[in-house]
Copies of this chain bind each other. A is one copy, B any other.
């Protein structure tokens, strides 16, 4: 049981759900998302984590399965529920009404049953202005007040009204216990201003804005305007469009209202609309302004069921929830266009495959493969922001595991992982900072190596945010909020991978900033084990490496640094053919002697090259860091891999730099600075 108070968000991976989660986190709420992903993508959750820099637990649960939902309620201390989950396509609902009733009504009933079983009694329900049906059938009901008689004209709307009635009946059955806020949405549009999350309709969009957006990116030929002979300013129908971020904020307002009134119990509905109607052509003009050009459209006949004007009377929400819209249609169009340009196919991305990487029933690690179907495929997962696999022309060139659980085993020798907060050794696990002595847990004899406690290689990173930034170039960004550790200061770590398919290059960029505290120490690297051998070779034997350095760090007897640099022995200055047992390398070589906390401005300098003559594969490791550890994997004792199954080249700061005055500035991170470095693995075949 997680002891924080959670808001459970059903359908939280969807359009309105994801925007509401973003607002919830921004307002200090802890959220847990359940979603069956039938009409949404987990990518939105990964992006929400990056956007909010916050862990947001997710469970792939279909609400109609009591036991699955019950398990989630048992895992978290849930205070309230925001219920978005439901099928929502009006047109589809007329084709397959049974599915709509079954999914939407049963899902809600099971949710309420589980809430009842767990003593959770606050719920905000995602209803719709659709419950009013044609409000123009009554005199004086435009703008539409909550008192307007309901009368939905399609199965979708009828499921929403049926759920409203269920909530009312349940509240009536036990008035002081239940607290229901029913939010009747008008026309949500737009996207998060970050451009990271937005609406991602499957198939042909049903709504005006997503349709226009697809026309703008040429997925559709032209916009159809259904009738321009209505009695409006320009002849097209009037609707109440509301920015999805405003709508999301309405849920926070409703949740607060429920909190304030939960003593007496309540069940009440509020319109969430702007109160301002826009015609189809006005919205069209706004959107064209955002796009910067006119998009094609054609006026066709009126559509059955359409009426002149459906504008909200939002006074009740303003008065009671202290909520009103703040963003207009222009802003919504601008935000929609930003989202659309960045994600022309929504969360779907050519060449990217995402699946869950956890054990059954867990859903917070991804296996993201970028370049899927190309000659350069790279796979990542959240634990350790790890490189799980690199395949060059179909040949794997790094070690990796099949399951997240293997990465979490004690015998995992940091395979493919991000190493931090402090890579490599710290003598006696001890260092001074700002006049204070810090003692770390030791894990390597008398020293601390690669950080002993809360080592990044087993930490679950947030995200990733995957983007296709140019043709054949993808970025995969993971975040880690590394707070409350045995290191001084709280930091935010960004691990940004850039996969360049045509160049067969994987560029890694590390950034670390201080969130809390005066300063900290930091040294980040990636711990991939390379094996360029053909036929899934189990050993690095036969691969020829060349170390591009003339100096190395002099080691103490416990593999720490004396503080001196010494010449590399002659035999390691030439090409070295790795044998079955020798040479055994575990040394820190000098790439450059510049000392800085952010090395990203440096050129990428070649550190190591490796060639395997049988496979024909070649690796070039370059980086911006002053040094690099070369390790021939002689101490691997893992379930899957044995000694010399792969070799490492770990660029980073000099060994134990924190304890050597002349190196120390390379690892001390203070406020207003960024830690930074880049590493590049380039392959040739």
Contact = CB atoms under 8 A, between A and B. Distances in A.
A154 B150 CA distance: 17
A306 interface: no
A408 interface: no
B173 A96 contact: yes
A671 to B, nearest CB: 54
A67 interface: no
A165 to B, nearest CB: 5
Contacts of A106: 102, 105-106, 109
A344 interface: no
A207 interface: no
B98 A166 contact: yes
Interface in A60-99: 93-98
Contacts of A101: 105, 109, 162, 166, 169
Interface in A143-175: 155, 158, 162, 165-166, 169-170, 172-173
Nearest to A110: B102
Interface in A106-157: 106, 109, 112-113, 116, 155
Nearest to A100: B169
B102 A109 contact: yes
Contacts of A93: 169
A166 B152 CA distance: 13
A480 B162 CA distance: 49
B116 A173 contact: no
Most buried by B among A97, A102, A109, A172: A97
A96 to B, nearest CB: 7
A430 B140 CA distance: 92
Contacts of A165: 155, 158, 162
A87 to B, nearest CB: 13
A105 B105 CA distance: 8
A173 B109 contact: no
Interface string A306-344: 000000000000000000000000000000000000000
Contacts of A97: 166, 169-170, 172-173
Contacts of A158: 162, 165, 169
A126 to B, nearest CB: 18
Contacts of A172: 94, 97
Nearest to A105: B105
A165 B151 CA distance: 12
Contacts of A96: 173
Contact of A112 (B98, B109, B170): B98
Nearest to A174: B95
Contacts of A155: 165, 169
Contact of A173 (B95, B162, B166, B169): B95
Contacts of A105: 101, 105-106, 162
A98 B109 contact: yes
Contacts of A102: 106, 109, 113
A105 B100 CA distance: 12
A166 B169 CA distance: 19
A344 B592 CA distance: 101
Nearest to A95: B173
A202 to B, nearest CB: 20
A499 B165 CA distance: 54
A172 B93 CA distance: 11
Interface in A163-208: 165-166, 169-170, 172-173
Contact of A98 (B95, B98, B116, B162): B116
Interface string A632-657: 00000000000000000000000000
A629 B162 CA distance: 70
20 contacts: A93-B169, A96-B173, A97-B166, A97-B170, A98-B109, A98-B112, A98-B166, A98-B170, A101-B109, A101-B162, A101-B169, A102-B106, A102-B109, A105-B106, A106-B106, A155-B169, A158-B162, A158-B165, A158-B169, A162-B165
User: What 7 A-B pairs are tightest by C-beta distance, nearest first?
Assistant: A97-B169, A155-B169, A102-B109, A162-B162, A97-B170, A101-B166, A158-B165
